[in-house]
Structure 1
Amino acid sequence: MLAGSRRFVLRPTFMSTSPTPLRLTSVYYFPAAEPGEITAAHELGKLTGASVSANAGAKTGVTVALASRGRPARLPAAAQTATAWMWLRIAEDGSGEICATHGSFLFAAVRLLATATSDLTREKLAAGVWLPATFGWHRPHWDACYTQYWRSARKFEPERYVAALAEAGFTHCEVNGLQAHMPFEDMVAFEYYPQFYTYAPGFNHFIDTPLTKGVWPAHYLDANLNHLKKLADLGRRYGLKPGVCMFEPRTMPDRFFAKYPSLRGARVDHPFRSRLPRYTMAQDHPIVQRHYREALQKLMRHVPDLSYMSVWTNDSGAGFEHTASLYVGRNGGPYMIREWRNHDKVAQAAGESIVRYLKNLQTAAAELNPDFDVILRIEPFKVEHQHIKAGMGGHVTWEAPSLLVKGYDVPYAHPKYPENKAVAGSLFHTTMDQAETDTLTASRAQGCEPVLHYSASGVMNHEPLLGLPFPRMLHEKFTAMRGAGLNRISCLGGLTNAAQAPYWPNPVVIRAAQFFPEKPVEQVLTEYATTLVGPAQASSLLTAWQDFENALMWQPLVGLYCAFGFCWQRTWDRPFVPDVEAVPAAEREYYERHGCFQHNNPGLVDLGKDVLFDLITQASGTKMAADMDQHVIARLRPLIARLDGLAKATEQISAPGAPRRVSPENAAAAVFADLRDRVRAYLHWVSSLRSVCAWCESVYGYLQAPDAATKASYEQKLQGAIDLELANIRGLIELLETTKSEVLVVSGVADNTFFYGENLVENLKTKIRLTEKYRHHAPRIDQDIFWRPLPGTTWPEGWSAKTP
């Protein structure tokens, strides 16, 4: 019997499967079958030992087909009006059918047969099992490893990944990932900006039009386009519909505007991070509108079944003209609104222009696919919000972490820290306010079906960790989304590198919520735990998952650090010292070269700052460090000790030189050891997060102290924090050098801003050396870092940039 969803498909012809009690003679698919039908049929053949062939009118055997080819005769009446479901009927004589509305559901249905649950007994299968899907539209969103900034992840296998998506009940996959490690973008020295184009890449990285021909090299465009097509093809094999998530309207290089100056639109770059002003095209200009129409249609001719475009904007080199949330403020080209209009009029004009942009894309796509969806991530548009939503409808819609969002304000607080309001869409967001349903009803009355995103992984939660279990929290969120009446949902970050977390319960819970929503989560987890470690140890695994969630629930959400900022700020590998600049610049270069730093960014020297953001204050640092000590770390240490004991107790030790005996106990030992190491990785992650907060508490306290005695007490406290961080990093090194599990995502190409490279251990050892060498300098932060000249330049002789 297969061990549940933890077994992932390896290759199309390769699917490593164990025998199942279900034995079949013949499996058929239609001669004109789609790739998803063929893949599901072959998977069923491998599971059951059956022959597989194309046959439109087979009288025996099991036929695998989409519902669009004809509905099974025994389908229940309720299926006539349902739009998303699967049907499985297999009689004792080996005849029957597997049918579904979505190609990916066919693969999910076949994989359900490989699990040892009570849901698909022989008796139930003989009568026929109809499983309506809770969510008829379910996609990964900002898919970290498949398309976005973790796409160079070590040991990531794209086909295993899309198979995991289909098995979990997803319907779509995101395909616009760059083939290149980093994007091709114009830049100047000493700026950090082109790297922001590596995720959610827009049209200009895949295709050109007559307007943009020659701006990007043809070899670069072709490589990225071919990669996009391959990703779409992989998803298609498993019945997943392709779509794109793009930052648009994105900037054009200034050499483009030298040729077409009248097409210059808004400046959208972040003036602190960039050294080269970057502009989009004027979105209302007819030439620009045609460019976008042709760009989308050209892309769709390469991927004819492209089904949606998610538009992210007003960040990362993209933005809409005259909107209030542009980094440099409202600005744009000359065509949208005349000067000296009041803010309300500008907001109205900007909002209506955004709607025109979205509808221009949708009508262009509709010529090739009438059902193509254009979806706007709506959070950036607080003041334009009502004008945008008023113009939407049909296949032009919006998405957010909450349907109540207006700007970045949402009514959800951390479950343990009500003062923390920034949890919408994160793993801590597990409930849905009744007002969500009211907003959904109003949107549907307008003909608009919004999309709500949720978190299932470490992406934007605890990057760069892999495979942390929080199945009950996740199931609670799914139950809440179902209760709110949602039909369209998206998984922020996708399932990351799921194949490298082979015992991860989160995808199992997602599948259960999709196809067995009434099934208690404890039953789902008990059945899965039993397949992993056997009935004798299942309760121990269930308790360990629960205990980890209990610790995780108490983790404070530290701004930026609990998203992409943990790696951005080089939290693990930068020296942990009272005065960062006591470390000579040459010795800091190993980590600064890949940090999201600028020469005058306070984040270079101050762990609680990034550009103009105060991430951590002295008061919040004090509280969060104490909270992590008391509520998180104190829970993790005994859990790790217990898991270590379980791993050792269940391991069967062979005699020296004898082959290792494969047994249920060996399997259980591997599961407990894997979970132990993932919890250890989280302990080292949250301990470093705690260290950052303690640094802010102590360094800020020292600098603000009114007398020498107070300074001394803060200095002593900081030295204690340094001792803890050194021990923590030594433990992390030991884990990374000994674990058999891929506990964190690591780039197989090179170290970069968004996640660490395979030289992480080397960098951690450098951190220890530098921390020990420079730990006893007095705390110091350069308060005038803003005014520094660029490297290689100086201010005029005698001029001071010190704050008076």
Structure 2
Amino acid sequence: MEKTFTPKRLVLLAGAVSIDEFQRLAETARASGFTHVDIGALTQKSRHQLMNDGEYCPGYDFYPEYTARFPGFFKFHVPEALESTVPADYAKKNLEALAERGSIAAQAGLRGAFFGCEPQFLPESVYEAHQDWRGPRCDHLFRSLTPRFAPCIDNPDVLELYRIASRSIVDAAPILDTFGLLANDSGAGICWSPDLYAGENGPSGCRDVPMPERVAGFMEAVSCGTRSAGTSPVVYVYHIGIWSYSGCVPLIAANDGSRLAFCRPPLDKPIACENPLSMLTELETAAQADCDTVVFAIEGAAAFSKNSVYPALVARFRQKPSANLIERLAILREALGEALSEPGIDWMLNSWVYLDRALDEFKKLFKQSFFFYLSVSERWLTRPLVAFPLELTEDERSYYEAHVWNVLGEDVGGDLLDLHGSRWGEILQMPAEARRVERTCTLIMEGLNTAVESARKVLGTKPGAEMEAHLEDTLCRLQGLGCLVRNFNNVIQFQVHMDLAKDGGRINSGDHVLVANIMRDELDNTRELIRLLETSRQPLITLAATAKDEDTFTMSPDLVGQLEKKIAIMLKHWRDPERLYLARPGYV
């Protein structure tokens, strides 16, 4: 008998989407063989957890920007003891949305899952009123300005708060039976855990409580609502970011001893590009590990659209799991059979092979989501490449500087290679390593260019109108990825040259010409990105709804305007690097 892929729980995690999109996703997911869908997305980020309601101000503390994006139990139901800390209307909207998604999922024949982050930090006012509730410090020393503390989950009163919230959440959505909770990261923490960024810490009174006992009590509390409803819940607690991680999850605990896997395409933010070979590889990993719960993580509804290959990919993998590249390609050939002619199928497969190969090259440099952290959160996309960033005027800096994650001061803020409070040693520990980055990016661009040309040839086979629109969007996204790669390489090469010149390091004849060429390539690259943003039929990058909603993880609704401003500033300061080179004695 041929082996099939039938995990107990196959979960679709699409993040925050509209109710109409959720309904379509749920129906498509059920038809593809999913058993669960995540219903716990927030209606909007939790501004009450942010400094100054999330609007940038001098001394802005960025760290809660992580926490504000993650669902947490008290963001859906506020126990009486916490009523002054969470806006009641915000929790009400979240609970109503969860209930509506739960109803839609039930009608589609799916169960519900809730993936969030707990135990999240509470404001100081709570600990002033309840001093014995204070648990571990859970912020990151280099990424935050203010120490933040999660509640102690060894405290019976704290556990009761979670029980109250759990009952309310499950009353709203009785189909919930699966919970995944990120701990010891993003503003959440468990007492005396070795994974805490601030080191093992917590109240002295609970120091000797065995960790399995501590976590078991917490899992019982957060799942009590489902047990009250007569359902056997599954709860996973882990210390690994679901924003970027893919693979079998190293668990802190699972209440039933089962295993969990996330399947997520690499580098899926800020431009989500269909990458089916990567997703099949991740599904293979989950299947080979015999994981009981497998989460298919995508960003938004576009990746699971009518003409996306993902629904058919999952359905076919369930029937006959692949185990190698040839079998992956066979699954995809079958999935494309009704949408494309034979020549089109060949070229589409070729495009996907080169896309997967190109993005796989990035493993030589860093992990999955550095575009999200660098291109967006450090604003590499919109920051001008200038030799003396601290000399820019307030007007020249303000449009990007307010959203560059930086709590360590102006000098660090001007360093392009700072990543949320630490110099980016994963790539560059010495200037010579910039050459490795450049060579790797050259290989990546060669792969992406082949993927683009292959996708163009698919369009040349004259597919149907709907498939043609999907392919045009795919082509635009592939080209957009190329812009991210060029920006990535240009920023690194530029900063390394600036470091050498400013620190009195060895520079070579003609280095000022190399720097000018880097700047020119970034200028041209920025214009290409503007063209793609203006001509794409679908949003290429998810942007903030309003200027007020722009933040470190979300680009401005006027992204094109900011890119134009970047170009203007670079041209204005084009000759600034010459001050570092032409004034050096003996430099020619």
Match of 1:114 in 2: none
Match of 2:200 in 1: 330
Distance in 1 (CA, whole Å) between partners of 2:236 and 2:500 is: 46
SS of equivalent residue, structure 1 residue 307: strand
SS of equivalent residue, structure 1 residue 308: strand
Q: Given that residues 263 and 285 in structure 1 are in contact (C-alpha distance below 8 angstroms), is that contact kept between their aligned partners in structure 2?
A: yes
- Residue 89 of structure 2 is aligned with which of 212, 219, 223? 219
Match of 2:127 in 1: 257
Matches within 5 A, 1:365-384: 365-379=226-240
Q: Report the identity percentage.
A: 20
Distance in 1 (CA, whole Å) between partners of 2:10 and 2:334 is: 25
Q: Deviation per CA, 1:595-618: give whole Å up to 9, x if none.
A: 323361765211222213434312
Q: Given that residues 142 and 408 in structure 2 are in contact (C-alpha distance below 8 angstroms), is that contact kept between their aligned partners in structure 1?
A: no
2:416 pairs with 1:612: no
Distance in 2 (CA, whole Å) between partners of 1:558 and 1:317 is: 23
Displacement after TM superposition at 1:623 (Å): 0.6
- Residue 24 of structure 2 is aligned with which of 147, 160, 163? 160
Q: Output the aligned Cα RMSD.
A: 3.3
Amino acid at match of 1:592: E
Q: Given that residues 185 and 239 in structure 2 are in contact (C-alpha distance below 8 angstroms), is that contact kept between their aligned partners in structure 1?
A: no
- Residue 591 of structure 1 is aligned with which of 391, 394, 400? 400
Distance in 2 (CA, whole Å) between partners of 1:203 and 1:485 is: 30
User: Against the structure 1 CA distance between its residues 776 and 326, is the aligned structure 2 distance closer, same or farther, given a 3 Å change threshold?
Assistant: farther
- Residue 269 of structure 2 is aligned with which of 451, 457, 463? 463
SS of equivalent residue, structure 1 residue 274: coil
Distance in 2 (CA, whole Å) between partners of 1:588 and 1:509 is: 46
Q: Given that residues 529 and 542 in structure 1 are in contact (C-alpha distance below 8 angstroms), is that contact kept between their aligned partners in structure 2?
A: no
- Residue 577 of structure 1 is aligned with which of 374, 380, 386? 386
Q: Given that residues 377 and 552 in structure 2 are in contact (C-alpha distance below 8 angstroms), is that contact kept between their aligned partners in structure 1?
A: yes
Amino acid at match of 1:521: R
User: Against the structure 1 CA distance between its residues 542 and 217, is the aligned structure 2 distance closer, same or farther, given a 3 Å change threshold?
Assistant: closer
Match of 1:138 in 2: 10
Q: Structure 1: which 5+ runs fail to align?
A: 1-77, 79-129, 338-345, 381-399, 408-442, 652-663, 782-804
Q: Given that residues 469 and 549 in structure 1 are in contact (C-alpha distance below 8 angstroms), is that contact kept between their aligned partners in structure 2?
A: no
User: Against the structure 1 CA distance between its residues 716 and 501, is the aligned structure 2 distance closer, same or farther, given a 3 Å change threshold?
Assistant: farther
Q: Structure 2: which 5+ runs fail to align?
A: 581-588
Matches within 5 A, 1:235-250: 235-250=105-120
- Give the structure with higher Rg (CA): 1
SS of equivalent residue, structure 1 residue 266: strand
Distance in 2 (CA, whole Å) between partners of 1:349 and 1:250 is: 21
Q: Deviation per CA, 1:300-356: give whole Å up to 9, x if none.
A: 22222211221111122210122233233332224203xxxxxxxx6x745542333
Q: Given that residues 643 and 676 in structure 1 are in contact (C-alpha distance below 8 angstroms), is that contact kept between their aligned partners in structure 2?
A: yes
Q: Given that residues 384 and 570 in structure 2 are in contact (C-alpha distance below 8 angstroms), is that contact kept between their aligned partners in structure 1?
A: yes
Distance in 1 (CA, whole Å) between partners of 2:228 and 2:468 is: 56
Match of 1:314 in 2: 184
> Relative contact order (C-alpha < 8 Å, sep 6+): which is higher?
2
Displacement after TM superposition at 1:562 (Å): 4.0
User: Against the structure 1 CA distance between its residues 354 and 487, is the aligned structure 2 distance closer, same or farther, given a 3 Å change threshold?
Assistant: closer
SS of equivalent residue, structure 2 residue 49: coil
Match of 2:585 in 1: none
Displacement after TM superposition at 1:706 (Å): 3.7
- With normalisation by structure 1, the TM-score equals 0.64
Matches within 5 A, 1:373-522: 373-379=234-240, 401=246, 403=248, 405=250, 448-456=257-265, 461-466=267-272, 468-491=273-296, 493-494=297-298, 496-498=300-302, 503-517=307-321, 520-522=327-329
Q: Given that residues 249 and 262 in structure 2 are in contact (C-alpha distance below 8 angstroms), is that contact kept between their aligned partners in structure 1?
A: no
2:366 pairs with 1:558: yes
Match of 1:628 in 2: 441
- Looking at secondary structure, tell me which structure has more helix per residue: 2
Q: Deviation per CA, 1:282-307: give whole Å up to 9, x if none.
A: 22122112222222122222222211
2:51 pairs with 1:194: no
User: Against the structure 1 CA distance between its residues 742 and 766, is the aligned structure 2 distance closer, same or farther, given a 3 Å change threshold?
Assistant: same
Q: Deviation per CA, 1:669-694: give whole Å up to 9, x if none.
A: 54543332221111111111122232
Displacement after TM superposition at 1:761 (Å): 0.9
Amino acid at match of 1:558: F
Question: Which has the higher mean CA deviation after the structures are superposed, 719-728 or 363-372?
Answer: 363-372
User: Against the structure 1 CA distance between its residues 742 and 501, is the aligned structure 2 distance closer, same or farther, given a 3 Å change threshold?
Assistant: farther
Q: Given that residues 209 and 295 in structure 1 are in contact (C-alpha distance below 8 angstroms), is that contact kept between their aligned partners in structure 2?
A: yes
Match of 1:359 in 2: 220
Q: Given that residues 238 and 249 in structure 2 are in contact (C-alpha distance below 8 angstroms), is that contact kept between their aligned partners in structure 1?
A: no
Match of 1:678 in 2: 477
Amino acid at match of 1:359: E
Match of 2:524 in 1: 727
Displacement after TM superposition at 1:589 (Å): 1.1
Q: Deviation per CA, 1:39-97: give whole Å up to 9, x if none.
A: xxxxxxxxxxxxxxxxxxxxxxxxxxxxxxxxxxxxxxx9xxxxxxxxxxxxxxxxxxx
SS of equivalent residue, structure 2 residue 48: coil
Displacement after TM superposition at 1:727 (Å): 0.7
Aligned length: 560
SS of equivalent residue, structure 1 residue 732: helix
Amino acid at match of 2:130: Y
- With normalisation by structure 2, the TM-score equals 0.85
Match of 2:163 in 1: 293
Distance in 1 (CA, whole Å) between partners of 2:321 and 2:458 is: 32
SS of equivalent residue, structure 2 residue 478: helix
Match of 1:424 in 2: none
Distance in 1 (CA, whole Å) between partners of 2:94 and 2:173 is: 13
SS of equivalent residue, structure 1 residue 532: coil
Displacement after TM superposition at 1:643 (Å): 4.1
Q: Given that residues 161 and 498 in structure 1 are in contact (C-alpha distance below 8 angstroms), is that contact kept between their aligned partners in structure 2?
A: no
Amino acid at match of 1:633: M
SS of equivalent residue, structure 1 residue 626: helix
Displacement after TM superposition at 1:713 (Å): 4.4
